């Protein structure tokens, strides 16, 4: 009995000694040992090298933004971030050079925004995306943007509303007034059947008398085979979003016939369905858009409590949706031949055999695909007033 | 009898479930996708090897009650050939635990503990498992009973929050090229299903023999169900790029974002993985130790637990020089060898045993 007891005491002692190692300061990584990257930008320099710029969030409040050899300090109110950049042959190369410029260990896990400069995008960015997918640090959910001009310039902005430029861009994307594309979705589009992708485009509104420069999402960049081939403006991007079933919020303004003014709707819900058909050599696709909208403004002489006027509004609204989507379609089909609507997947799902026979010819087929947009809208509510008390002679 | 402990049929089912599912979720989706594409979720349903193996296990146990397959070898094909075949079995088990341990270590080091040496990760796992195995089958059984609810809860913790990000169209068209792609994708999974042979070693230790069959069949059904759900979720999230990732299911955990708050959940996946791998390695380890002790006619298996643990650690270092070769061999040679050892050999044994029984029966009569 005594021997086993002694044995037990010894074992317990042996185990508790090990517990001392577990309290562990010997390889601790505390927050103030890390350079937490909140946003990263990639540009192409004049001599065809990659330039990686990162926005580092400073965790200890005592340090103030300092003048770096490569960057300028923030001018805005937040002032807790710095930008550093380094160049290299590949992204990994640039990242390792970047580490040489920073006293803390670079930490990618919180990076939620990646911005690609326009020059790099036109050259092609398969390689950087490869790195970002392979490296375990960057996250699949981070948002991806293309910047008009240098990505570095966007990073250097300090938005007054949000804590950092990363937050501000990510929240703007999340509102889905423009496109909201994550790294995973970009990889899916680039590696998918259509080989075409779209990314939201970030633009800098220059400094004016009363306001600082700020970044906002304006239109979208169209990619084909991993290269940026063109740019869609804001209106066409909305059409694109209708077709991709990504519309969430929005206000649509139409002017119905013979009504002498405009009516604005607020979008409540929308759903888009792609129905492909193949008849012989004739590939066509039917786009069925269904929306539910509320009236938020009425400056016409129509009394909107009368049902037949609602009919008239619906026709106008449906025509407007058709016009927007057709604008996006015309650009994508005629100008860039880039299947950014993922029609290829729709065809594959319904006609897998035909698709497999023709998948190498998709570039020749896509511009000729006939698209018929069929919009159906439901105008659910007139808002808080029916017949406007302010416009006296409404019909 | 080397093992005096007894487990319930229920515990056996749980042990079998946890001895197969964890690594199957981790490694197979990428390989299955390469063959089956959008039919990858159908592949786990083709669990032929599982059924064949279980059939052989139960029939052999009916002919030789209370004996596992290594012991049955000797009875069927004679002492010396039986010993040789038994040794082959045990060595193959050692090789298989090496692969399992290496998969575990590679995943932990490659995705989370980048600077920790592989040997530390796998060595500590072997140590913990060895202590559990020394406790006997009852301890391993109770661990399985204890950890299964945790495993399932954590699994659902990944599947449910990812639902808003799943895109159902990714799974269409279903069976566009017939059932061939899904069968091809199921091929690599047969390694996992043939691992059900472990049931042969646990079966003699089950107290309530009558329920054993039902319990193991339910376990097989649950394995298939879990894999179908895991593959379906992976496919609906990643679509065409599923095959590109080394651990597609990890991406699911990384992609979760509920209310900007419930994010960065790969730690949960890590927890699933460590829990599952622990039970899995325990079961395989136990089977090897028990088989070895019986093979050498030892009176107790406890003295050889740590020596075999050392062999297991070494085997995990020897199975492959790097992760690429490991994955490659899992999708090629291991499938064939596992099917040979765990499906074809037991079936041949069963046939022989059946013929012998017939022959002896007629000889006795005549």
Tokens 């419930």, residue? B262
On whether the CB atoms of residues A167 and A78 are closer than 8 A, the answer is no
| pLDDT at site A24 | 59
Token pair, residue A110, equals: 């919180």
Mutate one of B110, B178, B182, B239 to test the A interface: name it (highest A CB count within 10 A): B239
Interchain CB distance below 8 Å, B169 and A188: no
Q: Do B244 and A141 touch (CB under 8 A)?
A: no
Of A85, A250, A237, nearest in space to A175 by CA: A250
What the block records as the tokens of B102 is: 């290496």
A191 touches chain B (CB under 8 A): yes
CA distance B141 to chain A (A): 25
- B204 DSSP 8-state letter: G
A244 touching B (Cβ < 8 Å): no
Nearest to A141 by CA among A178, A176, A184, A199: A184
Using the Cβ of B214 and the Cβ atoms of chain A, whether some distance falls under 8 Å is answered with no
pLDDT at residue A60, rounded to an integer = 58
Q: What is the pLDDT of residue B283?
A: 92
Q: Is B67 left (phi over 0), alpha (psi -120 to 50) or beta?
A: beta
Q: Is B293 within the bounds of a domain?
A: yes
ipTM over 0.85: no
The whole-angstrom distance between A42's CA and the closest CA on chain B is 23
For chain A, which ranges sit under pLDDT 50? 61-78
Query: Using a CB-CB distance cutoff of 8 angstroms, which residues of chain A are in contact with residue B173?
Result: 348-350, 352
CATH no. for residue B266? 1.20.1740.10
pLDDT at B226: 93
Exposed/middle/buried for residue A282 (C-beta within 10 Å: 0-12, 13-18, 19+):
exposed
In a domain, B185, yes or no: yes
How far is C-alpha B288 from the chain's CA centre?
14
CB-count exposure of residue B112 (10 Å: 0-12, 13-18, 19+) = middle
Residue B238 with chain A: CB contacts under 8 Å: 184, 188
**What distance in Å separates the CA atoms of residue B22 and residue B279, rounded to the nearest whole number?**
9
C-alpha to C-alpha distance for A391 and B44, rounded to whole angstroms: 67
Which DSSP string do the residues of B276-297 spell out, in sequence order?
HHHHHHHHHHHHHHHHHHHHTT
Structural domain count of chain B: 1
Range of the domain at B295: 9-358
Contact B111 A349 (CB under 8 A): no
Ranges of residues in chain B with a pLDDT under 70 are: 1, 363-366
Q: Does B251 reach chain A within 8 Å, measured CB to CB?
A: yes
Give pLDDT, residue A384. 81
Q: Which domains does chain A have, with CATH numbers?
A: 26-232 (no CATH), 237-395 (3.30.300.210)
A26 and A154 in contact (C-beta within 8 Å)?
no
Q: Do A193 and B264 touch (CB under 8 A)?
A: no
Tell whether B129 is covered by a domain: yes
CB under 8 A, 24+ apart: contacts of B254-258: B254/A139, B254/A140, B254/A141, B255/A140, B255/A141, B255/A184, B255/B162, B255/B165, B256/B158, B256/B161, B256/B162, B256/B165, B257/A141, B257/B165, B258/B161, B258/B164
The minimal CB distance from A349 to the residues B111, B169, B244 is found for B169
Q: Is A188 on the interface with B (CB under 8 A)?
A: yes
Q: Cβ A353–B176 below 8 Å, yes or no?
A: yes
The CA distances from residue B145 to B16, B148, B216, in Å, are: 11, 6, 14
Q: Which residue of A has its CA nearest to B235?
A: A188
Query: If you measure CA to CA, which chain B residue comes closest to A355?
Result: B176
CB contact B124 to A (< 8 Å): no
| B2 belongs to a structural domain | no
What is the rounded CA–CA span in Å between residue B201 and residue B301?
A: 14
> Is residue B366 situated within a structural domain?
no
- Contact yes or no for B146/B213 (Cβ under 8 A): no
A residues 330..349 contacting B (CB < 8 A): 345, 348-349
Beta-carbon separation of B111 and A136 below 8 A: yes
- Give CA–CA dist B194/B49, Å, rounded: 5
Residue B4 belongs to some domain of the structure? no
Q: Which pLDDT value is given to residue A77?
A: 40
Measure CA of the first residue to CA of the last residue in chain A; give whole Å. Answer: 103
Rounded distance between C-alpha atoms, residue B49 and residue B47, angstroms:
6
Can you say how many angstroms the Cα of residue A178 is from the centroid of all Cα atoms in its chain? Answer: 7
CB contact under 8 A, B241 and A136: no
- Give residue B1's pLDDT: 61
> Using CA atoms, how far apart are residues A169 and A161, in angstroms rounded to an integer?
11
Q: Which residue of B has its CA nearest to A194?
A: B240
Decide if B364 is inside a domain. no
Q: Return the bridge partners of A105, or none.
A: A34
Instruction: Report helix angle B21-36 to B137-162, nearest 10.
Output: 50
The answer to whether the beta carbons of residues B338 and B194 sit under 8 Å apart is yes
Q: Are strands A81-88 and B262-263 parallel, antiparallel or unpaired?
A: unpaired
What would the two tokens of residue B20 be? 């197969």
Number of Cβ atoms within 10 Å of the Cβ of B104: 24
A192 touches chain B (CB under 8 A): yes
d(CA B316, CA B95): 8
In chain A, residues with a C-beta closer than 8 Å to the C-beta of B30 are none
B261 touches chain A (CB under 8 A): no
User: What is the phi/psi pair of residue A113, to 5°?
Assistant: -135, 130
Q: Cβ(B349)–Cβ(B72) under 8 Å? A: yes
Closest CB from B115, B240, B263 relative to A188: B240
- Does residue B348 belong to any structural domain of this protein? yes
How near does any CA of chain A get to the CA of B257, in Å? 8
Is B169–A345 a contact, with Cβ atoms under 8 angstroms apart?
yes
- pLDDT tens column, B96-116: 999 999 999 998 888 888 888
* Closest CA of chain A from B109, distance in Å: 11
Q: Which residue of B has its CA nearest to A353?
A: B176
């Amino acid at each position: 009995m005594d021997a086993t007891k002694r044995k037990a005491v010894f074992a317990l002692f042996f185990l508790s000694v090990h517990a001392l190692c577990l309290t562990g300061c010997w390889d601790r990584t505390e927050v103030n040992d890390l350079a937490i990257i909140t946003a990263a930008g990639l540009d192409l320099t004049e001599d065809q090298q990659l330039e990686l710029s990162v926005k580092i969030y400073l965790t200890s409040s005592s340090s103030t933004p300092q003048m770096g050899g490569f960057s300028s300090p923030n001018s805005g109110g937040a002032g807790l971030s710095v930008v550093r950049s380094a160049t290299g042959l590949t992204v990994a190369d640039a990242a390792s050079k970047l580490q040489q410029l920073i006293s803390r260990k670079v930490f990618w896990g919180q990076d939620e925004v990646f911005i690609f400069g326009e020059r790099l995008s036109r050259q092609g960015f398969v390689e950087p995306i490869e790195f970002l997918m392979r490296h375990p640090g960057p996250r699949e959910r981070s948002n991806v943007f293309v910047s008009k001009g240098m990505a570095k310039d966007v990073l250097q902005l300090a938005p007054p509303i949000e804590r950092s430029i990363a937050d501000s861009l990510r929240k703007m994307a999340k509102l889905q007034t423009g496109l909201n594309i994550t790294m995973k979705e970009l990889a899916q589009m680039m590696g998918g059947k259509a080989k075409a992708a779209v990314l939201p485009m970030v633009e800098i509104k220059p400094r004016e008398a009363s306001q600082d420069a700020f970044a906002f999402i304006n239109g979208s960049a169209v990619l084909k085979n991993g290269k940026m081939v063109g740019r869609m403006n804001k209106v066409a991007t909305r059409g694109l979003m209708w077709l991709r079933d990504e519309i969430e919020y929005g206000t649509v303004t139409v002017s119905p016939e013979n009504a002498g003014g405009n009516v604005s709707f607020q979008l409540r819900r929308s759903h888009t369905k792609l129905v492909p058909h193949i008849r012989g050599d004739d590939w066509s696709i039917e786009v069925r858009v269904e929306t539910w909208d509320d009236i938020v403004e009425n400056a016409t002489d129509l009394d909107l409590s009368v049902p037949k006027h609602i009919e008239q509004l619906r026709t106008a609204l449906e025509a407007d949706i058709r016009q927007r989507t057709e604008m996006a379609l015309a650009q994508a089909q005629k100008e860039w031949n880039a299947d950014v609507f993922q029609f290829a997947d729709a065809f594959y799902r319904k006609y897998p055999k035909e698709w497999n026979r023709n998948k190498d010819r998709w570039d020749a087929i896509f511009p000729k695909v006939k698209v018929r947009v069929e919009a159906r809208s439901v105008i659910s509510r007139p808002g808080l007033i029916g017949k406007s008390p302010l416009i006296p002679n409404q019909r | 009898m080397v093992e005096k402990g007894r487990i319930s049929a229920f515990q056996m089912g749980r042990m079998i479930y946890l001895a197969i599912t964890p690594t199957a979720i981790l490694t197979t989706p990428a390989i299955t996708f390469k063959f089956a594409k959008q039919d990858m979720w159908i592949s786990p349903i083709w669990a032929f090897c599982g059924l064949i193996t279980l059939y052989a296990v139960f029939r052999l146990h009916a002919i030789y009650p209370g004996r596992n397959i290594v012991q049955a070898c000797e009875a069927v094909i004679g002492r010396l050939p039986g010993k040789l075949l038994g040794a082959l079995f045990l060595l193959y088990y050692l090789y298989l635990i090496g692969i399992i341990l290496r998969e575990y270590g590679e995943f932990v080091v490659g995705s989370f503990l980048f600077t920790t040496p592989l040997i530390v990760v796998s060595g500590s796992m072997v140590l913990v498992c060895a202590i559990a195995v020394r406790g006997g089958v009852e301890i391993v059984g109770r661990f399985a009973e204890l950890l299964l609810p945790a495993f399932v809860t954590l699994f659902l913790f990944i599947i449910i929050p990812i639902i808003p990000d799943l895109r159902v169209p990714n799974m269409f068209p279903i069976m566009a090229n017939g059932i061939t792609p899904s069968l091809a994708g199921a091929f690599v999974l047969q390694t996992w299903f043939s691992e059900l042979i472990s049931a042969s070693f646990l079966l003699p230790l089950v107290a309530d023999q009558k329920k054993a069959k039902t319990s193991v069949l339910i376990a097989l059904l649950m394995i298939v169900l879990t894999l179908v759900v895991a593959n379906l979720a992976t496919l609906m999230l990643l679509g065409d790029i599923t095959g590109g990732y080394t651990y597609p299911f990890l991406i699911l955990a990384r992609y979760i974002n509920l209310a900007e708050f419930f994010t960065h959940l790969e730690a949960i996946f890590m927890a699933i993985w460590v829990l599952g791998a622990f039970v899995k390695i325990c079961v395989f380890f136990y089977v090897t130790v028990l088989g070895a002790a019986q093979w050498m006619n030892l009176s107790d298996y406890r003295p050889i637990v740590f020596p075999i643990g050392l062999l297991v650690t070494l085997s995990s270092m020897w199975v492959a020089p790097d992760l690429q070769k490991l994955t490659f061999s899992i999708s090629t040679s291991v499938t064939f060898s596992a099917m040979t050892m765990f499906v074809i050999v037991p079936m041949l044994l069963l046939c022989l045993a059946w013929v012998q029984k017939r022959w002896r029966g007629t000889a006795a009569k005549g």
